[in-house]
Amino acid sequence: MGRYIIRRLLQAIPLLFLVTIFMFTLIHLIPGGADQVIFNPHLSAAGRAALRARFGLDQPVPIQYLKWLGNALTGNFSFSFGTNQPVGDILKQRFPATLQLFVPALALALVIAVLLGVISALRHGTATDYTLTTLAYIGICMPIFLLGLFAQEIFGVWLHWFPTSGTSNYATNIDPVSAFVDHIQHLILPMLVLAISFVGGWSRYMRSSMIDVVKQDYIRTGRAKGVSTSALMVRHALRNAVIPLITIVALDFGAVAGGATITEGIFAWPGLGLLFFQSLAIRDYPVLMAELLLGAVFVIAFNLIADILYAVMDPRIRYS
């Protein structure tokens, strides 16, 4: 098992290199480089040339890449074109906001998906099943920005239950408790929208997994042993049915660095996703590269975690 992990980690490194080359090339293909977008239009040509040299934008792209790579390997991600802050700091600042949104959303989605999926499976073919399936389809077939829009309109504008954007209504100088409550109020709508976008697909997956498991012979053996139906469903069926779902959840979690992008965009939530939009608009290469790299690292890491989880949960994989 340990050897397997090490092998996968070793494979991940060249992959990461290739990914960085891929992404570097891509963002430099975006028309209108940083110099055209950020620089003050009133700058003289000499001033522009000086700035370009300072940012290293006058070099050929492959050289730029090698410079970037060299810096990145030492943990130096340079400075943002837009704000001149160290990129590392910017990411560190924005990442918690995305986590706040992403982790509760996925945790909630997982719990609801398991519940809905199991109920749907056990009431297979009844009206309950059809209702829950319909709800799941709404989550799957509605584009997430539309969900966000509707949520904002219904709960924010019409009902005035929740605020529709940002993280807080007040400036500073409010007591911590009220600030916390206010923060939570701002969190709820985007978090729910994000959760709904996952629940749809996950609950369908759970449902079909559960239906398959309940048909298995060992469930009948359990019944022949005298195990009660509820114990049978939880201890035997659920235990087996949830395994494939957990792998999917782990994989979806890998998208953490980019998965909330749209939600953050709609609700103006100041996380990595919103940062990405902003950096893209001004062609802020250092920030873009760092974000893309972070995103790829998470995707690859959670791919590995998903495989490990699968082995942990299914002894047939572990011991073969």
Partner 1 sequence: MGEYLLEVQDLKTYFKVKAGKVRAVDGVSFAIKPGEKLGVVGESGCGKSVTALSIMRLLPQPPAEMAGGSVLFDDQDLLDVPESTMRKIRGGKIGMIFQDPMTCLNPTMTVGKQIGEALRIHLKVSKDEAQKRAISLLEQVGIPAAAERINSYPHQFSGGMRQRVMIAIALACNPKLLIADEPTTALDVTVQAQILELINGVCSDFGTAVMIITHDLGVVAGMTDRVVVMYAGKVMETAPTDELFANPRHPYTLGLLSSVPRLDEVRHSQLRTIEGAPPDLLKPPPGCPFMPRCAFARAICRTMPPLEALPGNSAHFKACWVDVTDPQEQAYAEKRRQTRIEKVLAATNAQLASTQPVSEEK
Partner 2 sequence: MDISEQLGSATTQDEVEPFLELAPELVQKRRSQGRIIWDRFIRNRAAVVGAAALLVLVLFCFVGPYIWTLNPDSLNALSATSTLANPTLAHPLGTDDVGRDTLARAMYGGRVSLLVGFISMLMAIVFGIGIGSFAGYYGGAVDNILMRFTDIVLAVPLYLLLFVLSAAFVDGTPKSVIFLIAILTWTYAARLVRGEFLALKEREFVMASRTIGAGNFRLMFRHILPNAAGPIIVNATLLIGTNIILESVLSYFGFGIQPPTSSWGSMIATGESFFDVDPFLVFVPGLLIFFTVLSFNLVGDGLRDALDPQMTER
Instruction: List residues near partner 1 by CB under 8 A.
Output: 216-218, 220-228, 235-236, 239-240, 243, 313-316, 319-320
Rule CB under 8 A: say whether 23 interacts with partner 2.
yes
CB-based contact 283:55 (threshold 8 Å)? no
Q: How far is the CB of 236 from partner 1 (least distance, A)?
A: 5
Piece in contact with partner 2 (CB under 8 A), picked from 104-112, 176-184, 239-247, 254-262: 254-262
Given 91, 250, 292, 306, the residue binding partner 2 (CB under 8 A): 292
Given 7, 9, 89, 153, the residue binding partner 2 (CB under 8 A): 153
Q: How far is the CB of 249 from partner 1 (least distance, A)?
A: 18
Q: How far is the CB of 31 from partner 2 (least distance, A)?
A: 7
Q: How far is the CB of 139 from partner 2 (least distance, A)?
A: 11
**Across the strands, what pairs with 79?**
86
Tell me, rounded to whole angstroms, the distance of Cα 230 from its chain centroid. 34
What span, in angstroms and rounded, lies between the C-alpha atoms of 252 and 77? 27
Q: How far is the CB of 119 from partner 1 (least distance, A)?
A: 18
Residues with Cβ within 8 Å of residue 80, at least 6 apart in sequence: 86, 87, 90, 279, 284, 286, 287
What span, in angstroms and rounded, lies between the C-alpha atoms of 154 and 102? 22
What span, in angstroms and rounded, lies between the C-alpha atoms of 187 and 250? 23
Task: Indicate which of partner 2, partner 1, none lies near residue 300 (CB less than 5 to 8 Å, by partner kind).
Answer: partner 2
Rule CB under 8 A: say whether 30 interacts with partner 2.
yes
Task: Indicate which of partner 2, partner 1, none lies near residue 243 (CB less than 5 to 8 Å, by partner kind).
Answer: partner 1
- If the CB atoms of residues 109 and 300 are measured against partner 2, the closer one turns out to be 300
- If the CB atoms of residues 39 and 145 are measured against partner 2, the closer one turns out to be 145
CB-based contact 284:269 (threshold 8 Å)? no
What span, in angstroms and rounded, lies between the C-alpha atoms of 127 and 143? 26
Q: How far is the CB of 46 from partner 2 (least distance, A)?
A: 29
Burial of 105 (0-12, 13-18, 19+ CB in 10 A): buried
Task: Indicate which of partner 1, partner 2, none lies near residue 227 (CB less than 5 to 8 Å, by partner kind).
Answer: partner 1
